Amino acid sequence: MTIDERVRELGLVLPEPFRSPTGTPYPFSWVRVRGNRAYISGHLPLEPNGTLAEPRGKIDETVSIEQGAAAARVVGLAMLGSLQRELGELERITAWLRVLGMVNVAPGTTQVAAVVNGFSALILEVFGKERGAHSRSAVGMAELPFGVAVEIEAEVEIE
Amino acid sequence: MTIDERVRELGLVLPEPFRSPTGTPYPFSWVRVRGNRAYISGHLPLEPNGTLAEPRGKIDETVSIEQGAAAARVVGLAMLGSLQRELGELERITAWLRVLGMVNVAPGTTQVAAVVNGFSALILEVFGKERGAHSRSAVGMAELPFGVAVEIEAEVEIE
Amino acid sequence: MTIDERVRELGLVLPEPFRSPTGTPYPFSWVRVRGNRAYISGHLPLEPNGTLAEPRGKIDETVSIEQGAAAARVVGLAMLGSLQRELGELERITAWLRVLGMVNVAPGTTQVAAVVNGFSALILEVFGKERGAHSRSAVGMAELPFGVAVEIEAEVEIE
C-alpha cells in the first residue's frame, strides 16, 4: 500500500491551501523542493477549506494541552496537503528528517512536548516507524502568526 | 547578468562584518560551507559599517511593523555580505532553501509574517522567483540578542 | 587521535539517555541518521545518569549567565552521548553544520549568545576548529520543556 492509499484508508482529510484572513502577502513556498530534499515552511492548524482552525490562543490560557495536541495533528494534515500538491504523491517521501515544533505558550507553560506529540503521532501513523522517524525540537514561543496555538516546520527526504 | 552584477545594479550596500558592541566572543561561523550547502547563522540588522542598526526593540513597542520589515531587509543585506565574503561570488548560490525568521515581539503581536516579508522580498528581488524561492517560518521570540527587532537564519544550495 | 579518544582524554562524561520526570512519551529519535547527515533533536541539560540537571529556570531569574553557559555545555555532552549511541563512534562525524541555541529568558534578557557559547566551546574543544566549525543562531524563548535554561538542536555531516 502506498502512503497515499494509506491516507485514504485512514480517512484523513488534507486541507486546501491556506486562506489568510488578512491581505498580507506570502512571498515564499509552502514546500521548497531541491534535489532529494523538501523543505517545509512553518504550517498552521487549518480547517479542510484552508481557513484557520479554532481554538486559537496560548496553551494553558484559551487552549488546553489536549486541544493543542489536536491542533498539532491538524498542522500535520495541512503539511501533508502541501506536500501532496507539491510532490504529486506522498509516496515520494522516503524519510522524515527534522521537525521544529513551536508552541504558543502562556507564562509558565512547559508542557510543549505533549502538544507537539499530536504531530509526531500523525506522521508515525501515516509513514510507519522507519520512514516516519524524525528528530524533533519542541519549544515555547512568545507569539505565533494569527495567534495560532502551534506552528511546525519540517524537512523530508524525497526520491 | 550575474547575481553580483544585479546587486550592484540595484545599488545595494552589503554591510561589513558584524562589530559587536560588547566583548562577547562569537565562536561560530557566519556561513558554514560544506559540499553543496551553505548554512547561514542567525544574522542581525546591521549598518553598512557593521554596527547594529537602529531602531532596536520589540515590534509594536519601540519598532513599528514597517520598521521591522525594513530591519528584516537589512538582515538580508548583512547575510548577502557574509555570503559574498565566504563564497567569493553570490553567483555561486543556485537556490535558496530554508529561512527561519525570528521576530522580537511585544505581548499580543502576531503580525510576524509582515515583518519577515522584508527579507523575502529582498531575496526574490536579487535572485528572482525561481532561484530565490524558499520555505519559511516566521515566529515571535521572547528576546533577541542586543534587543534587535529581528534575527534570521537560512540555508542555501551552492555550486 | 580519534574524536572518541579525545573525549576520553579530556575526561568528559557523556550522560545516559534522557530519563523524563513525567510519563509524557517521546515519539521521535534523538538522532535521525540518513545518508551523510545526522539530524539532532533539541537536547536538554542532563546529569550523567540522564536526569535533568539543575538549576532550572530562566536566565537572569533563577539561572545566571555563567550557569546558563555551563548548562549549554552539558547539553553538548548529552548530545555527544546520543550521537555516540546512534553512530557507534563520534569519529564518524566529519563536520558540524548548524546549531540552534534556544535560551529560556526572563523579560529583558538579551545575552543569549554568552549562554550558547558554552555549547560552541565544547564542540570546538572536542572536534577542533575545522571539523567543529558551525553556523549558529542564539535566541530567547518564552518557555522550554521542564523549565530548563537552554535547549539546543543541531545538524552534522557524517561519513
Domain residue limits, chain B: 3-12+29-158
User: What pLDDT is stored for residue B59 in this prediction?
Assistant: 97
User: What pLDDT is stored for residue C23 in this prediction?
Assistant: 85
Domain A3-15+38-158 class?
A: alpha beta
User: What pLDDT is stored for residue B23 in this prediction?
Assistant: 85
Q: Provide the residue type at B7 as one letter.
A: V
B55 preceded by a cis bond (ω within 30 of 0): yes
Query: A30 vs chain B: nearest CA distance in angstroms?
Result: 6
User: What pLDDT is stored for residue A140 in this prediction?
Assistant: 97
> Average pLDDT of B90-109?
97
- Superfamily for C3-16+36-158? RutC-like (3.30.1330.40)
List of chain B residues whose C-beta atoms are within 8 Å of the C-beta of residue A18: none
Nearest by CB: A151 against B96, B124, B139: B139
Rg of chain B over all Cα atoms, to the nearest angstrom? 15
The tens-digit pLDDT sequence of chain C (159 residues) is 999 999 999 999 999 999 999 988 999 999 999 999 999 999 999 999 999 999 999 999 999 999 999 999 999 999 999 999 999 999 999 999 999 999 999 999 999 999 999 999 999 999 999 999 999 999 999 999 999 999 999 999 999
List of chain B residues whose C-beta atoms are within 8 Å of the C-beta of residue A41: 135-137
Return the C-alpha cell found at A66: 489536549
Q: What pTM value is reported for the model?
A: 0.98
Interchain CB distance below 8 Å, C153 and A142: no
Query: C42 vs chain A: nearest CA distance in angstroms?
Result: 4
d(CA B9, CA B126): 10
Chain A interface test: which of C18, C22, C28 (most A C-beta within 10 Å): C28
d(CA A76, CA A72): 6
User: What pLDDT is stored for residue A23 in this prediction?
Assistant: 85
Planar angle of CA A136, A150, A43, nearest 5 degrees: 80
User: What pLDDT is stored for residue C27 in this prediction?
Assistant: 96
Nearest by CB: B34 against C95, C107, C141: C95
Chains that touch C (3 or more CB pairs under 8 A): A, B
Return the C-alpha cell found at B37: 550547502
Q: Is the dihedral of CA A138, A144, A147, A151 positive or negative?
A: negative
Query: A28 vs chain B: nearest CA distance in angstroms?
Result: 6
Interchain CB distance below 8 Å, A135 and C26: no
d(CA A93, CA C37): 17
Query: C75 vs chain B: nearest CA distance in angstroms?
Result: 17
Nearest by CB: B39 against C98, C120, C139: C98
**B41-94 pLDDT tens trace:** 999 999 999 999 999 999 999 999 999 999 999 999 999 999 999 999 999 999
ipTM of this complex prediction, to 2 decimal places:
0.96
Chain A and chain B share a number of CB contacts under 8 A equal to 85
User: What stretches of C53-92 show up as alpha helix (H) in DSSP?
Assistant: 65-87
DSSP state of C138: E
Architecture of domain B3-12+29-158: 2-Layer Sandwich (3.30)
Where is B7: in which H helix or E strand? helix B3-9
Q: What is the mean pLDDT of each run of 10 residues along chain A (159 residues)?
A: 98 97 93 98 98 97 98 98 98 98 96 97 98 98 97 98
Interchain CB distance below 8 Å, A32 and B135: yes
d(CA B30, CA C128): 17
